[in-house]
Amino acid sequence: MTLKEQLTRHALLPLHEWLRGRNTIREWKRFRANDRLSPEAFRELRLTKLRQLLQHCAHHVPYYREVFEQAGITDPGHCGLQDLQRLPILERSILRNEGNRLITEGWEPRLIRYSTGGSTGEPLVFYTDKHRESCLNAQKLRARSWFGVHPGDRQVDFWGSPIEMSRQSRVRVLKDRWLLNQVVLSASNLTPQRIADYLDFLGHFRPRLIYGYPTVIYRVAQHLLEHPGLLGDYRPRLIACTSEMLLPHLRETITQAFDCPVANEYGSRDGGLIAHECPEGHLHIIAEQVIVEVDQPDDNGVGDLLVTNLDGYGMPFIRYRIGDRGALTDEPCPCGIPLPRLREIQGRANDFLVGRDGRLIHSSTANYILREIPILRQYQLRQRPDHSFDLTMVPSRPLTEGEQDHIRAGLCRILDESVAVRFQPTESIPPEKSGKYRWVISEAAA
């Protein structure tokens, strides 16, 4: 660690967080200590936090006072994890219709307003608070510490949300870089020249952590593999991917190009940080912060994920349907961290293709077919309501008839039905407003 990084870790970052009204560093130290707890002690800690949250809701949140009464819960201070199933699932429609009644009485001046559009584009407004924000930031720092990345270490974010990027005033950019060792690089308009400039910057700034959308870091990795040597002897200590599915071919390319660990961070604005990958390659649920349930699991244990945020006191989310599908596992992890594990994450509902008789097929199956065509530098596959496909693509040369037939046959095979595939070459595929790049989008109804 350089002298500048030590100064940031021990002085500048704690001062910054204190001025923002957050106790991030104190929470980080506490969470780090929890990694040394026994599984039994950890379960007791989580149960205590759940009971404290439920008692808070019973006394101070109008919506949950009514819900507890209807569920016959008279003493939430003695509830167990199994008692959560007595409570109704918090749907997004309830959040929209009952939003004011979900706010803790008297907390209005302390709340921070957020909104997220999601895949439907319909804004979802919710509120967080300084404590929840502190815990969220501290949990990210805690997970990165598993890889030897610590608060104050140099960091580069590939980010593309217009909301965040519009706030990058000159003063903030200078403050983040020279005081906090953090630099944000825009994920929008990634031309070959811009990517080359970014790689040149990485080689000079030498961040220990690269963080951002996997689809964006993947494109940077592709350029690096095509132009080896651009980074010299620099290698990051960790690349953490967030906000999108870290598909196998993305991970493989990023790992090959940067020659460092690649970890998946799973969470959302409304649900908080839910899980993070450890050095052993397993997704650990951030269980002091969230309880994760699987609603109506199928034969493989996969179902809709329900999240209870244990640090969200301003607007509590209990059994919130996050919109993703996944599965849990009871298997311990060789890393020794006492946090429970997610066996898999399967993504949003519209990440699934729909086949014959409404069968759901994960989008990764289509990616396996398309990745066999190396001339596709970028693509987006859209399934229409009639199950047909539009393949928008950026090829390095026109596809041959044989390559088109290969793609067409593969897509029909995974759907188990004959459908039309329309090929639409283009010079570039713009990201969504958030800056993310969607590989597969389905408009078909299951």
Q: What angle do CA 161, 164, 170 make, to 5 degrees?
A: 130
3-state SS string over 150-214?
A: CCCCCEEEEECCHHHHHCCCHHHHHHHHHCCCEEEEECCCCCHHHHHHHHHHHHHHCCCEEEECH
The SS3 assignment for 309 reads strand
Q: What is the pLDDT of residue 204?
A: 95
Contacts of 337 (CB under 8 A, 6+ apart): 35, 146, 278, 284
* Count of all residues that appear for the chain in the document: 446
pLDDT at 160: 63
Bridge-partner residues for 32, per DSSP? none
Question: Would you call 236 helix, strand, or coil by DSSP?
Answer: coil
Ordered by where they begin, the domains of the chain are 355-442 (3.30.300.30)
Q: How far is CA 366 from CA 26, 111, 354, 355, 410, in A?
A: 45, 42, 12, 12, 8
Q: DSSP code of 7? A: H
What was the pLDDT predicted at 65?
95
Strands 182-186 and 155-159: what pairing? parallel
pLDDT along the chain (446 residues), means of 10: 89 93 94 93 94 96 95 91 94 90 94 68 78 95 97 91 54 85 82 90 97 89 93 96 86 96 92 94 96 94 95 95 92 93 78 78 75 83 94 93 94 92 91 68 83
pLDDT for 169 = 66
